[in-house]
């Protein structure tokens, strides 16, 4: 019974069907195909704004390419202490940006507050000797399974923009956050001030499909050249674009996210007092103790330790295709006396 990661989930039928449908004879390569050419329009409707969108195959590529268009090599990127870009991408932002420096900010439940950002930026002495503040990156949902509310994002963006920084959102679990908040995609992105979004579908039912979505078209600049030289311009781009079109147009983005979120809420409820963070997406962080973890594993549940194994904390992730029976069993195990 796997609660490892939504990265392990299968491809949902609507998306696999779209791949089939795109498999018709010869198309033009490298993104000049009918599917990719529809992307700006379809995502523009989804977000209720003019956008420029580019497909890539991984979230790390989306994040790092987006940040590299915002950040010079001598720039600084501000992110949460436990951000994916800081902890789980093997230094990708430094690589893509040509050496830019990550500046990490602490904050509860995986979030940076506007105040903490302002305090960090104000305490820095900026000169030719320092790195130059360039971008802020936040995750929605966060690494700790919480979701920023629109007002929180707007406050952060205001602090950043007032000081000349741009704001990137790592939306690897964007659908889960939006489904939880019950808001529109626009409310937590451009309307709140987000400049560029890594819009992930892979964790929520796609085979491998992410889009970098620019809400400010002046920022696109050299994105396409950076993507190409990083090996992220896919020759058969149509098969990635087709996944994203289906993801958005069929509504599976919300349906899958709601299913996973619902499971996570049930698991969170079963965990009760042992919860480490509010459950606002599809991840549940629980303090189980070494014995508790061992007991769950002995009962057939698979999941990752959170932090060092000795810490006794666990991460339980519900995927869009999780078996309901397994969730029932996990809840029962968590509530067993």
Q: How far is the CB of 256 from a copy of itself (least distance, A)?
A: 14
Interacting residue with a copy of itself among 18, 43, 67, 76 (CB under 8 A): 76
Instruction: Find, among 215, 108, 205, the residue nearest to 167 by Cα.
Output: 215
Q: Give the nearer residue to a copy of itself in terms of CB position, either 92 or 288.
A: 92
Task: Provide the minimum distance between the beta carbon of 203 and a copy of itself in the complex, in angstroms, as a whole number.
Answer: 7
271 binds a copy of itself (CB under 8 A): no
- Write down the least CB distance from residue 171 to a copy of itself, Å: 15
The helix/strand/coil state of 317 is strand
Q: Does 231 bind a copy of itself (CB under 8 A)?
A: yes
x/- letters, 117..136, toward a copy of itself (CB under 8 A):
-----xx-x--xxxxx----
- Nearer to a copy of itself among residue 11 and residue 329 (C-beta): 11
Q: Are strands 75-80 and 101-105 parallel, antiparallel or unpaired?
A: parallel
- Can residue 300 be called a binding residue for a copy of itself (CB under 8 A)? no
Q: Is 233 in the site for a copy of itself (CB under 8 A)?
A: yes
Smallest distance, a copy of itself to C-beta of residue 47, A: 23
Fill in the per-residue mask, 86 to 105: x = in contact with a copy of itself (CB under 8 A), - = not in contact.
xxxxxxx-xxxxxxxxx-x-
> Binding of a copy of itself at residue 218 (CB under 8 A)?
no
Distance CA 152, CA 160 (A): 13
Q: CB of residue 307 vs a copy of itself: minimum separation in angstroms?
A: 7
Q: Do the Cβ atoms of 333 and 33 come closer than 8 Å?
A: no
Q: Which is nearer to a copy of itself, 65 or 136 (CB)?
A: 65
Q: Is 232 exposed, middle or buried (0-12, 13-18, 19+ CB in 10 A)?
A: buried
321 forms part of the interface with a copy of itself (CB under 8 A): yes
| Size of the residue set binding a copy of itself (CB under 8 A) | 82
Contact 250, 88 (CB under 8 A): no
The shares of helix, strand and coil residues in the chain, as percent rounded to the nearest 5, are 45, 15, 35
Structure tokens at 22: 């795109």
Binding to a copy of itself (CB under 8 A): which residues in 48-67? 56-62, 64-65
Inter-helix orientation angle 150-162/114-123, to 10°:
20
Q: How far apart are CA 233 and CA 29, in angstroms?
A: 10
- Taking the least distance from each CB to a copy of itself, the nearer of 195 and 313 is 313
Hey, what are 294's tokens? Answer: 């061992």
Number of Cβ atoms within 10 Å of the Cβ of 11: 17
- ∠ CA(214), CA(68), CA(254), 5° rounding? 40
Minimum CB distance to a copy of itself, residue 157 (Å): 23
Instruction: Pick the closer one to a copy of itself by CB: 2 or 161.
Output: 2
Q: How far is the CB of 289 from a copy of itself (least distance, A)?
A: 18
For residues 96 and 7, give the distance between their C-alpha atoms in angstroms, rounded to a whole number. 23
**At a CB cut-off of 8 Å and minimum separation 6, what does 4 contact?**
302, 303, 304, 317
In this chain, which stretch among 69-77, 138-146, 154-162, 267-275 interacts with a copy of itself, using CB under 8 A?
Answer: 69-77
- Smallest separation, CB 170 to a copy of itself (Å): 13
Span interacting with a copy of itself, options 46-54, 157-165, 275-283, 317-325, rule CB under 8 A: 317-325
CA pair distance 111, 219, nearest whole angstrom: 25
Q: Is position 72 an interface residue for a copy of itself (rule: CB under 8 A)?
A: yes
Residue appearing with tokens 């940006």:
97
Task: Report the candidate in 196, 188, 194 with the shortest Cα–Cα distance to residue 219.
Answer: 196
Residues 13-42, one symbol each (x = binds a copy of itself by CB under 8 A, - = not), give: ---x--xx--xxxxxxxx------------
């Amino acid at each position: 019974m796997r609660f490892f990661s939504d990265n392990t989930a299968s491809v949902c039928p609507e998306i696999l069907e779209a791949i089939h449908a795109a498999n018709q004879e010869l198309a033009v390569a490298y993104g000049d195909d009918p599917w990719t050419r529809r992307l700006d329009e379809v995502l523009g409707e989804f977000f209720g704004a003019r956008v420029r969108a580019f497909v890539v195959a991984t979230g790390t590529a989306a994040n790092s390419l987006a940040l590299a268009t915002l950040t010079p090599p001598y720039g600084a990127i501000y992110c949460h202490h436990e951000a994916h870009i800081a902890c789980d991408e093997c230094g990708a932002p430094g690589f893509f940006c040509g050496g830019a420096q990550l500046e990490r900010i602490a904050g509860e439940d995986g979030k940076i507050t506007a105040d903490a950002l302002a305090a960090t930026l104000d305490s820095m002495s900026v000169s030719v000797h320092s790195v130059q503040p360039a971008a802020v990156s936040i995750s929605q949902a966060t690494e700790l399974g919480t979701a920023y509310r629109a007002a929180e994002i707007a406050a952060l963006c205001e602090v950043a923009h007032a000081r000349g920084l741009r704001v990137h959102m790592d939306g690897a679990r964007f659908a889960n956050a939006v489904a939880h908040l019950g808001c529109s995609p626009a409310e937590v992105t451009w309307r709140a001030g987000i400049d560029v979004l890594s819009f992930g579908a892979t964790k929520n039912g796609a085979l491998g499909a992410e889009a970098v979505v620019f809400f400010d078209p002046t920022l696109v600049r050299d994105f396409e050249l950076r993507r190409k030289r990083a090996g992220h311009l896919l020759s058969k781009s149509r098969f990635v674009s087709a996944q994203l079109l289906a993801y958005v147009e069929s509504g599976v983005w919300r349906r899958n996210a709601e299913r996973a979120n619902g499971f996570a809420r049930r698991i969170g409820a079963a965990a009760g007092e042992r919860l480490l963070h509010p459950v606002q997406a599809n991840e549940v962080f629980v303090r189980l103790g070494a014995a508790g973890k061992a007991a769950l594993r002995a009962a057939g549940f698979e999941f990752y330790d959170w932090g060092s194994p000795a810490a006794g904390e666990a991460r339980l992730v519900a995927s869009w295709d999780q078996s309901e029976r397994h969730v029932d069993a996990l809840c029962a195990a968590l509530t067993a006396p």
